[in-house]
């Protein structure tokens, strides 16, 4: 039966369903449709569905190619989206791309969206269908949550009546289509034959390597690769704090350190956000905490979570050099998205930074050219401010007229959380400069 499905995928006669049309699912649905499959997209967000069915993009920021691709595949009738799961009755492959957050307090996965999808597939999953989870999940989730969830809702047996795969995504906002098509993928199948069916599907638009694996390996690879990054960033941040305390410039240190063979220190910064790096390390350790009692991974989370608060310390210190106290000071905060040139503000470091500023009595005004709530001119927030803080490396900020900005402000304090402003240029414009790892 799986061989027949593989043949249908190869012939592109297998209809595809994609559930969850966010930063991951929408580009996936578009690429599959663009490859010649008939694709049905499902989301619970009716506004999003309406936007996509008009051939428009709900994704903001600078996202090369996505608007054109949506217009093209919707216009050609290859992608149709709906909130109605009944539309999935005839599809043979279902790709699940819903969000998989962790609980704020316990850091354990909540899986509300995933469990809801598994339940709703009950009445509609066609016999012999292949269900692929692209969402990032804690190692063990396919066995503990997905298989029992689907078996309970469908009354069918995994591996006999339907097939399961886990092919975690490696995209990042701002590079969605580029990463989707160029990155290699770990293709986890319940059996090697299922992995081969998945490879037949993904090879239609992925030019990177497609590496077959089992379900558990695929789960660990994805969560471990993001935990690795978080730990590396935490290391860079800790070295930056050491440099600040000693009066050195972390960027000079990093450049020389990276000349040592095998070293590749990452960039420090104002914090780590988004829907991946802050939660995937918790997913990695979720099911083995009691046995392993991990130290390094939770510590890295702590170091990185502290950086937005450290930004407030930098503001306070730089204001003090002007004899200004933080309480009552006006602070212009530039950037709210978690990543440059995107509108993705999930787990925004700026959100934590602003909350800390306000807790300590400062008056914060945020500007971001891509996040609807904060779309206004930079001048709107810098006029009369005592300090300006760069939280995100949006390209437009790099060419800001520093002299003109200085003129509008009540005091000239500039705090750079992303090393995007040349210190000498800032000082030439009359600013007192402080940066992460470079005070």
Ligand X SMILES: NC(=O)c1ccc[n+]([C@@H]2O[C@H](COP(=O)([O-])OP(=O)(O)OC[C@H]3O[C@@H](n4cnc5c(N)ncnc54)[C@H](O)[C@@H]3O)[C@@H](O)[C@H]2O)c1
Based on CB atoms, which residue is closest to ligand X, 276 or 326? 276
Based on CB atoms, which residue is closest to ligand X, 141 or 367? 141
Which residue's C-beta sits nearest to ligand X?
22
Q: How many CB atoms lie within 10 A of CB 347?
A: 19
Q: Is 327 a catalytic residue?
A: no
Tell me which residues touch ligand X (CB under 6 A): 19-25, 42-45, 48, 97-100, 113, 116-117, 135-136, 169-173, 275-276
Q: How many CB atoms lie within 10 A of CB 385?
A: 23
CB of 45 to ligand X, least distance (A): 4
First to last CA, the chain: 64
The values of phi and psi at residue 184, to 5°, are -75, 160
Contact 74, 39 (CB under 8 A): no
Rounded to whole angstroms, the Cα distance separating 335 from 188 reads: 37
DSSP output for 338-396: SSTT----TT-HHHHHHHHHHHTT-EEEEE-SSSGGG-S-HHHHHTT-SEEEE-S--HH
Based on CB atoms, which residue is closest to ligand X, 180 or 253? 180
Catalytic choice (222, 243, 279, 330): 222
Give the single-character DSSP code of 248.
-
Tokens of 259: 């000349």
Based on CB atoms, which residue is closest to ligand X, 48 or 386? 48
CB of 197 to ligand X, least distance (A): 21
Q: Is 97 a catalytic residue?
A: no
Rounded to whole angstroms, the Cα distance separating 9 from 7 reads: 5
Based on CB atoms, which residue is closest to ligand X, 172 or 383? 172
Tokens of 333: 């905060």
Based on CB atoms, which residue is closest to ligand X, 144 or 321? 144
Residue with token string 């800032």:
426
CB of 121 to ligand X, least distance (A): 10
Catalytic choice (30, 243, 276, 330): 276
Exposed / middle / buried, residue 13 (Cβ in 10 Å: 0-12, 13-18, 19+): exposed
CB of 309 to ligand X, least distance (A): 25
CB of 392 to ligand X, least distance (A): 16
CB of 335 to ligand X, least distance (A): 18
DSSP output for 119-173: HHTTTTPPTT-EEEE-S---TTHIIIIIHHHHHHHH---BTTTBEEEE------T
Catalytic residues: 222, 276
């Amino acid at each position: 039966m799986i061989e027949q499905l593989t043949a249908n995928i190869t012939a592109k006669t297998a209809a595809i369903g994609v559930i969850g049309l966010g930063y991951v699912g929408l580009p996936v649905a578009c690429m599959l449709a663009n490859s010649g499959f008939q694709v049905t997209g499902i989301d619970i967000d009716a506004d999003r569905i309406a936007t996509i069915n008009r051939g428009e993009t709900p994704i903001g920021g600078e996202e090369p190619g996505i608007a054109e691709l949506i217009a093209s595949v919707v216009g050609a009738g290859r992608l149709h989206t709906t909130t109605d799961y009944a539309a999935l009755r005839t599809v043979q492959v279902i790709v699940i791309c819903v969000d998989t957050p962790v609980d704020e307090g316990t850091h354990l996965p909540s899986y509300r969206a995933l469990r809801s999808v598994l339940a709703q597939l009950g009445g509609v999953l066609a016999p012999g269908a292949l269900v692929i989870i692209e969402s990032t999940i804690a190692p063990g989730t396919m066995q503990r949550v997905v298989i029992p969830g689907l078996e309970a809702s469908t009354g069918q047996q995994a591996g006999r009546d339907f097939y399961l795969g886990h092919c975690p995504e490696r995209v990042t906002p701002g590079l969605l289509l580029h990463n989707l098509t160029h990155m290699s993928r770990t293709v986890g199948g319940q059996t090697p034959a299922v992995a081969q069916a998945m490879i037949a599907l993904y090879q239609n638009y992925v030019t990177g390597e497609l590496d077959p694996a089992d379900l558990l390996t695929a789960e660990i690879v994805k969560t471990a690769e993001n935990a690795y990054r978080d730990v590396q960033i935490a290391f860079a941040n800790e070295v930056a704090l050491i440099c600040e305390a000693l009066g050195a410039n972390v960027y000079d240190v990093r450049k020389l350190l990276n000349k040592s063979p095998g070293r590749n220190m990452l960039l420090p910064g104002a914090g780590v956000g988004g829907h991946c790096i802050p939660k995937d390390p918790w997913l990695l350790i979720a099911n083995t905490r009691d046995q392993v009692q991990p130290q390094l991974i939770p510590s890295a989370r702590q170091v990185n979570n502290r950086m937005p608060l450290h930004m407030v310390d930098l503001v306070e210190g730089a204001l003090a050099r002007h004899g200004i106290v933080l309480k009552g000071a006006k602070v212009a905060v530039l950037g709210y998205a978690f990543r440059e040139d995107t509108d993705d503000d999930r787990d925004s470091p700026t959100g934590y930074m602003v909350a800390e500023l306000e807790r300590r009595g400062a008056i914060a005004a945020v500007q971001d050219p891509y996040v609807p709530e904060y779309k206004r001119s930079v001048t709107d927030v810098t006029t009369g401010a005592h300090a300006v803080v760069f939280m995100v490396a949006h390209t437009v900020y790099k060419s800001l007229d520093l002299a003109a900005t200085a003129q509008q402000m009540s005091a000239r304090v500039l705090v750079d959380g992303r090393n995007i402003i040349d210190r000498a240029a800032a000082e030439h414009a009359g600013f007192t400069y402080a940066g992460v790892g470079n005070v």
